[in-house]
Structure 1
Amino acid sequence: MTIADSRLSKNRLSALMDGIFAIAMTILILGVTPPSTVENITQPQVINYLISIIPEYVSFIISFLIISILWLNSHAQFKYINNINSSYLWLSIYELIAIVSIPLTTAIFTSYGNFTIGTVPFNINLLVIGIINVTKWNHLVKNNLLIPDISKEEINTISKSKKSFIIIPIISMIVSVFIPLYCGLVYFLIFIQTRLR
Structure 2
Amino acid sequence: MEKESKPKSSIWVDKGTDFTRVLALSDGVFAIALTLLALELIPAEIDAGRVAQELPGVILGLIPQFLVFALAFYLVIVKWMAHRRIFEHITHYDSTLLWLNNWFLLLIAFMPVPAAILGRYPQEPLALIFFGVAQIITTAVQWLLWGYATRGHRFVDESVDDDTIRFFRNRYLIQIITFVVFTLVALINVWLALGVLFLFYMGIGSQIFTSRQRHKHADSAET
Settle same-fold status: TM greater than 0.5.
Answer: yes
Unaligned 5+ runs, structure 1 = none
Between stretches 11-20 and 105-114, larger displacement belongs to: 105-114
Structure 1 residue 146 corresponds to structure 2 residue 156: yes
Residue 105 of structure 1 contacts residue 125 of structure 1 at CA under 8 Å; is this kept in 2?
A: yes
Give CA-to-partner distance per residue, 1:13-43, whole Å, 9 cap, x none: 1111100000000000111242424323465
Between stretches 91-100 and 175-184, larger displacement belongs to: 175-184
Choose the corresponding residue for 2:103, options 78, 94, 106: 94
Residue 164 of structure 1 contacts residue 190 of structure 1 at CA under 8 Å; is this kept in 2?
A: no
Q: What is the TM-score normalised by the length of structure 1?
A: 0.89
Choose the corresponding residue for 1:167, options 177, 198, 204: 177
Q: What is the TM-score normalised by the length of structure 2?
A: 0.79
Residue 172 of structure 1 contacts residue 184 of structure 1 at CA under 8 Å; is this kept in 2?
A: yes
Unaligned 5+ runs, structure 2 = 1-12, 209-223
Q: How does 1:76-155 map to 2 (within 5 A)?
A: 76-142=85-151, 144-155=154-165
Aligned partner letter, 2:176? I
- Output the aligned Cα RMSD: 2.1
Between stretches 7-16 and 76-85, larger displacement belongs to: 7-16
Residue 182 of structure 2 contacts residue 196 of structure 2 at CA under 8 Å; is this kept in 1?
A: yes
- Other-structure match for 1:193: 204
Structure 1 residue 38 corresponds to structure 2 residue 47: yes
Aligned partner letter, 2:83? S
Runs of 4 or more off by more than 6 Å in structure 1? none
- Residues matched between the structures, number: 194
Higher relative contact order (CA 8 A, sep 6+): 1
Q: 1:191 to 1:97 in 2, by over 3 A?
A: farther
